[in-house]
Amino acid sequence: MTLEFAPSARSTVGLEWEIMLADPRTGDLVGRAPDLLAALEEESADERHTVTGELLTNTIEVTSGVGTSVAHAVDDIAAAIAAVRAATDPTGIELLSAGSHPFAQWYEQQVTDKTRYHKLIERTQWWGRNMMIWGIHVHIGIEDHRKVFPIINALTAYLPHLQALAASSPFWAGESTGYASNRALVFQQLPTAGLPWPLEDWSQFEAYMTDMAHTGVMADPSEVRWDIRPAPRWGTIEVRACDGMSTLPELAAVASLVQVLVEHLSRELDEGRALSVLPPWFHRENKWRSARYGLDARLIVDRAGTQRPVREHLAETIDRLAPISRDLGCEREFASVERILDGGASYARQQAVADASGGDLTAVVHHLIREFREGPVTSTHPLTPDQSEAAQPSTS
């Protein structure tokens, strides 16, 4: 199978954010997306952002246009959230985001009426119906398809760091899981999900897709659900390992880290330097440690098996790559990764709320609703008057 890799400007940014719809009183999920999407999709047709549906009717996804910087893409997301708010506030629907809903049950949710989703559920059955998970996807433009798999293979070593920063799914169906990111382990149960295969170059990916198509596993690369994958249609590398971010500033921080890491690896290739790649068995162990312990994990950071606390390794990485963030115009967002390291990721905040409320997971949902409302309406750039007006919660 020959796969064309679309032309894409180097290190441009695209963002996708999956958002839950909830009842403001009970905190439970509501399957109201089909009622909202027709108007929202039409309204966004001429905008840089888009608003679309997802696997379950309790979810809306917002996406950015191609951002020349992280701030550019984040502003699109802020505008999309404002548009969604304009539709949901008058109808009594609240918004929140995390890797999982603290207490909702899978058997009470409805699948969106689209052929691709019905086919997925038919194939995956119980595991597919249990996919009550929400995430973010970060696309970074790659100017040469020959760089795609060298960068993916090296960037996989940083997926646990990103997963730890974004971890926000400590509760599942009303129970405390003991994991910072339960979503990470649930999602990999899908047959085409999980860590990427260690392919060496684009021709091997084409051979892989030929095998998958020939055996009826997949029809095209959009059905590859790896934690990090090539997106030929857009000319990007797409990082999919992260739980749903609970606030917009945290989304911006993680997106900037992805962008800086990709640009760093691309520069290494430009200089003719070989990229460091860990053995697959270390990647698997690191993913589990990050899912289990979040920012308290100790990760294997080199082929010799050296282990480092993820907080320390991230802090060193941030310091080392700060000049690249200045070059890319995301210095502010990149520096804010340290705020997550200092203040804790969403999973820790959720656990603190649960502990303080005697295990009341409804209180955790209301905490997530408050966090989400405080974040998305604050753009990284000053909003225009029209945007500012649209970003205000409705009082009707």
Average pLDDT over residues 120-140: 93
Supply the mean pLDDT for the chain.
Answer: 93
Shortest CA distance to 387 belongs to which of 77, 92, 136? 77
Average pLDDT over residues 220-237: 97
What pLDDT digit, counting tens, does each position of 157-191 carry?
999 999 999 999 999 999 999 999 999 999 999 99
Measured over the CA atoms of residue 344, residue 346, residue 348 and residue 352, the dihedral's sign is positive
Report whether 237 contacts 228 (CB < 8 A): yes
Average pLDDT over residues 362-367: 97
Strands 193-194 and 225-226: parallel
Domains (ranges, CATH) in the chain? 111-376 (3.30.590.20)
- Please work out, in degrees rounded to the nearest 5, the angle formed at the alpha carbon of residue 211 by the alpha carbons of 206 and 216: 125
Q: What is the C-alpha to C-alpha distance for residues 224 and 362, in angstroms, rounded to an integer?
A: 35
Q: What is the C-alpha to C-alpha distance for residues 318 and 162, in angstroms, rounded to an integer?
A: 12
- Percent of the chain scoring above 90 in pLDDT: 89
What pLDDT digit, counting tens, does each position of 235-249 carry?
999 999 999 999 999
Whether 387 shows a pLDDT value over 80: the answer reads no
Measured over the CA atoms of residue 144, residue 284, residue 255 and residue 341, the dihedral's sign is negative
pLDDT at 116: 86
pLDDT at 389: 34
What pLDDT digit, counting tens, does each position of 47-89 carry?
999 999 999 999 999 999 999 999 999 999 999 999 999 999 9
Which single residue is written with the structure tokens 């760089």? 147
pLDDT at 375: 56
- HEC sequence for the chain: CCCCCCCCCCCCEEEEEEEEEECCCCCCECCCHHHHHHHHHHHCCCCCCEEEECCECCEEEEECCCECCHHHHHHHHHHHHHHHHHHHCCCCCEEECCCCCCCCCHHHCCECCCHHHHHHHHHHHHHHHCCCCCEEEEEEECCCHHHHHHHHHHHHHHHHHHHHHHCCECEECCEECCCCEHHHHHHCCCCCEECCCCCCCHHHHHHHHHHHHHCCCCCCHHHCEECEEEECCCCEEEECCCECCCCHHHHHHHHHHHHHHHHHHHHHHHCCCCCCCCCHHHHHHHHHHHHHHHHHCEEECCCCCCEEEHHHHHHHHHHHHHHHHHHHCCHHHHHCHHHHHHHCCHHHHHHHHHHHCCCCHHHHHHHHHHHHHHCCCCCCCCCCHHHHHHCCCCCC
What pLDDT digit, counting tens, does each position of 33-45 carry?
999 999 999 999 8
Shortest CA distance to 36 belongs to which of 100, 97, 92? 92
pLDDT at 379: 38
Length of the chain as a residue count: 396
CA atoms within 13 A on the CB side of 132: 25
Amino acid 71 reads A
pLDDT at 374: 85
